[in-house]
Amino acid sequence: MAGRRCLVTGGLGFIGANLALALARADADVTVVDACYPRHGANPFNLEAEGGAAVRRVTADLADPAARAALDGAELVFNLAGQVSHVDSMNDPVFDLDVNTRSQVAFLEALRWAAPGATVVFTSTRQLFGRPKYLPVDEEHPVNPVDVNGITKHAAEQFHRLYHDVHGLRTSVVRLTNVFGPRQRLRDDFQGFLPIFIRRALLGQPISLFGDGSQERDCLYVDDVVDCLVRAATCGDAVGEVFNVGNDEHLPLKTIADLIVGAAGSGSVEMVPWPPDRDAIDIGSYFGDSSKAKRTLGWTPATTFAEGIERTVAFYRAHLDRYL
Amino acid sequence: MAGRRCLVTGGLGFIGANLALALARADADVTVVDACYPRHGANPFNLEAEGGAAVRRVTADLADPAARAALDGAELVFNLAGQVSHVDSMNDPVFDLDVNTRSQVAFLEALRWAAPGATVVFTSTRQLFGRPKYLPVDEEHPVNPVDVNGITKHAAEQFHRLYHDVHGLRTSVVRLTNVFGPRQRLRDDFQGFLPIFIRRALLGQPISLFGDGSQERDCLYVDDVVDCLVRAATCGDAVGEVFNVGNDEHLPLKTIADLIVGAAGSGSVEMVPWPPDRDAIDIGSYFGDSSKAKRTLGWTPATTFAEGIERTVAFYRAHLDRYL
């Protein structure tokens, strides 16, 4: 990646910052664009690490002219900017649409003129599949979002595909399962179950599991996601494609919580009944089929959940005050 | 429908105005909301007809407070507002998203508070299926839009379904095929092939068909669509459902053009090669499977294309200056 001009949108957030640091350490020329919206994942401390000093920072929504200016000369665009909280998406759906779809359309229009030859990797979410009709969920699985976030991210995916098909942009889509690791916002309960579990364990609080905790999930350690995104950006066969990126290690939520409590050495796990307002958006078990990503990108996750959570806990033990 | 409080969004447009007039003639209490955007279908003359004098008019985007105010006391909401030009959607994608998705989300939020018990029929489009994988296209057919309009309308559909599933709104979705009849904008070439063909024939101009004109389409006369929408709004079993609404009469584009020229008594048909910029969004033949709509709503189209086009031509012969 040495010398390659990379733009990372959402680059002050969890995955974006880990990616930007990895690219900078590989001597890429890295710019991050981040709107720094409150409650989203942006955290300036995320780039206070090896490689971070070389990363240029632009504070902008993707629809802003500053984001377009940042595209000048970009070769590889890692498009991670977005609102990821499904709770917030249900409470403020117009803002979710604005951030996750409208700004993405404006950014794709800017790409057409400012960097038409760039390769663009858009990160999407397993959330758009809703309750799986079968497991593991592959790319042919019907899309059936059960929350606003799933609708708005899916629309943004479709725009990326359309701009490839009609305008020739070199776009691909990577649909991520639950990701964990250093630099994730832990402050509140709006960004998925893993940061909630990790925070509660680190603070010595109980982790509440709805139902019996038997629903299975596949989780990815952030370094494996970074590896996948870099491969997608540099693999010609990825252009125009969509990839479901999950993990063959499927764990019940109860096991995930127990492993987190074990790694933290604090906290506990308790079972509670499903609250009625969550029941409508429960999806049961979910795990993805990553065969296409493995085949096309030569990617495979290298980190077990137990290994990843040990590293994650070690990071937050040193920096917890920066993430609460 | 006597006395029932009906709101028709996009009610100065083609289908909306025909619907509003039909409701008013059935003694319903009718309000139309229309943003009257240039190039869209709104035409004040559309309500200068029997029943039109009793229809209240509100000029507003669905995201405006005036649209929310118009919801007060509404029992039946016919939600037809939108941008329908796929050419315009490709040229100005952010505006298409704003009108077709963002304003719809704001309107659904308004519905939650201003008219949570209303029944809502949202009109969508066959455009979201893209190139059919099989024919006729039923509700299980994968969604694969090949233009911006298909993406934005599909997202709005998903929001209507989500607001039913999660918030209990009484929504349904009717996906229309190509519709024709009186009160359709004929002025330019941006709103589908039928108004283009009709205008050119009436003006004695040639109708250009791309390729050999063998691609088949199903067309619906607007009165049959009005009948379908009223049934959807008054059938309890329609709530939460999506219906593909097409016609079992499938006609090659060449036959459609010939019938229009025949009815008009003017114009001609000529074959031309596919222009390259249209090729990327060509979908081949399309016709829908309306079995579910027929079964659930007791609906069936009553008008052949030949009958409908005779009535259409008669209308425009009398009022062509109002539609050019």
Q: According to the model, what pLDDT value does residue A125 have?
A: 94
Q: Among the residues of A43-147, which ranges form H helices?
A: 65-70, 86-91, 93-97, 103-114
Cβ–Cβ under 8 Å, residues A21 and A27: no
pLDDT of A65 higher than 90: yes
Higher pLDDT, B190 or B41: B41
Neighbours of A271 (CB within 10 A): 13
How confident is the model over B296-318, as pLDDT tens digits?
A: 999 999 999 999 999 999 999 99
Among B97, B105, B143, the residue with its CB nearest the CB of A93 is: B105
Confidence of residue A191 (pLDDT cuts 50, 70, 90): confident
Which of A103, A113, A166, A169 would best serve as a mutation to test chain B binding (most B beta carbons within 10 A)? Answer: A166
Tell me the shortest Cα–Cα distance from B145 to chain A, in angstroms.
Answer: 8
Cβ–Cβ under 8 Å, residues B246 and B136: yes
How confident is the model over B63-115, as pLDDT tens digits?
A: 999 999 999 999 999 999 999 988 899 999 999 999 999 999 999 999 999 99
Angle, vertex CA B69, rays to CA B65 and CA B73, nearest 5: 155
Among the residue ranges A295-309, B194-208, B270-284, the one predicted with the least confidence is B270-284
**Alpha carbons A184 and A45: distance in angstroms, whole number:** 11
Average of per-residue pLDDT values in chain B:
95
Tokens for B122, please give them. Answer: 């949202």
pLDDT of B210 higher than 90: no
Cβ–Cβ under 8 Å, residues A78 and A8: yes
Q: Do A146 and B165 touch (CB under 8 A)?
A: yes
Q: Does B37 reside within a domain?
A: yes
Q: Do B101 and A155 touch (CB under 8 A)?
A: yes
Mean predicted confidence (pLDDT) in A9-36: 98
Q: Do A159 and B151 touch (CB under 8 A)?
A: yes
If we measure between CA atoms, which residue out of B186, B173, B106, B169 comes closest to residue B143?
A: B173
Q: Among the residues of A11-75, which ranges form H helices?
A: 14-25, 65-70
ipTM of the complex: 0.92
If we measure between CA atoms, which residue out of B84, B56, B81 comes closest to residue B70?
A: B56
The DSSP annotation for B213-233 comes to S--EEEEEEHHHHHHHHHHHH
Cβ–Cβ under 8 Å, residues A144 and A130: yes
Among the residue ranges A151-165, B48-62, B272-286, B294-308, the one predicted with the least confidence is B272-286
Model confidence, pTM: 0.94
Q: According to the model, what pLDDT value does residue A190 have?
A: 76
Sign of CA dihedral A179, A183, A186, A189: negative
Q: According to the model, what pLDDT value does residue A210 have?
A: 86
Helices B193-202, B253-264: inter-axial angle, 10-degree rounding: 30
Among B102, B148, B154, the residue with its CB nearest the CB of A102 is: B102
Burial class (CB in 10 A: 0-12, 13-18, 19+), B143: middle
**Alpha carbons A178 and A160: distance in angstroms, whole number:** 22
CA dihedral B46, B48, B53, B59 (to 10 degrees): 40
Q: Do A151 and B148 touch (CB under 8 A)?
A: no
Cβ–Cβ under 8 Å, residues A195 and A184: yes
Q: Do A155 and B155 touch (CB under 8 A)?
A: yes
Q: Do A166 and B281 touch (CB under 8 A)?
A: yes
Q: Give the list of residues 6+ apart from residue A171 with CB closer than 8 angstroms, or none.
A: A119, A120, A121, A122, A160, A161, A163, A164, A239, A240
**Alpha carbons A270 and A206: distance in angstroms, whole number:** 6
Q: According to the model, what pLDDT value does residue B137 have?
A: 97
**Alpha carbons A258 and A306: distance in angstroms, whole number:** 10
Q: What is the DSSP letter of B41?
A: S
CA terminus-to-terminus distance, chain B: 34
Mean predicted confidence (pLDDT) in A84-98: 94
If we measure between CA atoms, which residue out of B148, B141, B155, B164 comes closest to residue B243?
A: B141
Angle, vertex CA B223, rays to CA B250 and CA B221, nearest 5: 25
Burial class (CB in 10 A: 0-12, 13-18, 19+), B276: exposed
**Alpha carbons A165 and B206: distance in angstroms, whole number:** 31
**Cβ–Cβ contact A168 with B under 8 A:** no
The CATH number for B68's domain is 3.40.50.720
Counting one residue from A and one from B, how many pairs have CB atoms under 8 Å apart?
Answer: 77
Among A98, A102, A281, the residue with its CB nearest the CB of B166 is: A281
Where b means 16+ CB within 10 Å and e means fewer, A130-163 reads bebeebbbeeebebbbbbbbbbbbbbbbbbbbbb
Mean predicted confidence (pLDDT) in B187-196: 86
If we measure between CA atoms, which residue out of A269, A291, A306 comes closest to residue A180?
A: A306
Confidence of residue B290 (pLDDT cuts 50, 70, 90): very high
Helices A305-319, A193-202: inter-axial angle, 10-degree rounding: 60
Q: Does A58 reside within a domain?
A: yes
Average of per-residue pLDDT values in chain A:
95
Tokens for B112, please give them. Answer: 């939650």
Q: Does B93 reside within a domain?
A: yes
If we measure between CA atoms, which residue out of A19, A50, A22 comes closest to residue A34?
A: A19
Tell me the shortest Cα–Cα distance from B147 to chain A, in angstroms.
Answer: 7
pLDDT of A270 higher than 90: yes
Among A94, A106, A151, the residue with its CB nearest the CB of B158 is: A151
Q: According to the model, what pLDDT value does residue B133 have?
A: 95
pLDDT of B164 higher than 80: yes
- Work out whether strand B216-221 and strand B119-125 pair parallel, antiparallel, or are unpaired: unpaired
Q: Does A318 reside within a domain?
A: no
Which of B64, B83, B87, B94 would best serve as a mutation to test chain A binding (most A beta carbons within 10 A)? Answer: B94
**Cβ–Cβ contact A102 with B under 8 A:** yes
Tokens for A268, please give them. Answer: 């506990």
Q: Does A252 reside within a domain?
A: no
pLDDT of A118 higher than 70: yes
Name the amino acid, one letter, at B193: F
Tell me the shortest Cα–Cα distance from A48 to chain B, in angstroms.
Answer: 36
A303 phi, psi to nearest 5 deg: -115, 125
Q: Do B109 and A94 touch (CB under 8 A)?
A: yes
Cβ–Cβ under 8 Å, residues B115 and B73: yes
Q: Do B90 and A166 touch (CB under 8 A)?
A: yes
Domain that holds residue A21: 5-185+219-247+287-303
Neighbours of B206 (CB within 10 A): 14
Q: Does A319 reside within a domain?
A: no
Number of independent structural domains in chain A: 1
How confident is the model over B231-262, as pLDDT tens digits?
A: 999 999 999 999 999 999 999 999 999 999 99
Q: According to the model, what pLDDT value does residue B192 have?
A: 85
Query: Which residues of chain A form beta strands (DSSP E)?
Result: 5-9, 29-34, 56-59, 76-79, 119-125, 170-176, 178-180, 206-210, 216-221, 242-245, 250-252, 268-272
pLDDT of A277 higher than 80: no
Q: Does B269 reside within a domain?
A: no
Q: According to the model, what pLDDT value does residue B129 have?
A: 93
**Cβ–Cβ contact B279 with A under 8 A:** no
**Cβ–Cβ contact A105 with B under 8 A:** yes
pLDDT of B203 higher than 90: yes
Q: According to the model, what pLDDT value does residue A14 have?
A: 97
Give the residue from chain B lying closest to A109, CA to CA: B93
Q: Does B215 reside within a domain?
A: no
Tokens for A13, please give them. Answer: 């957030």
Q: According to the model, what pLDDT value does residue B132 have?
A: 94
**Alpha carbons B280 and B271: distance in angstroms, whole number:** 19
Confidence of residue A189 (pLDDT cuts 50, 70, 90): confident
Residues of B in contact with A94 (CB under 8 A): 63, 102, 105-106, 109
Confidence of residue B281 (pLDDT cuts 50, 70, 90): low
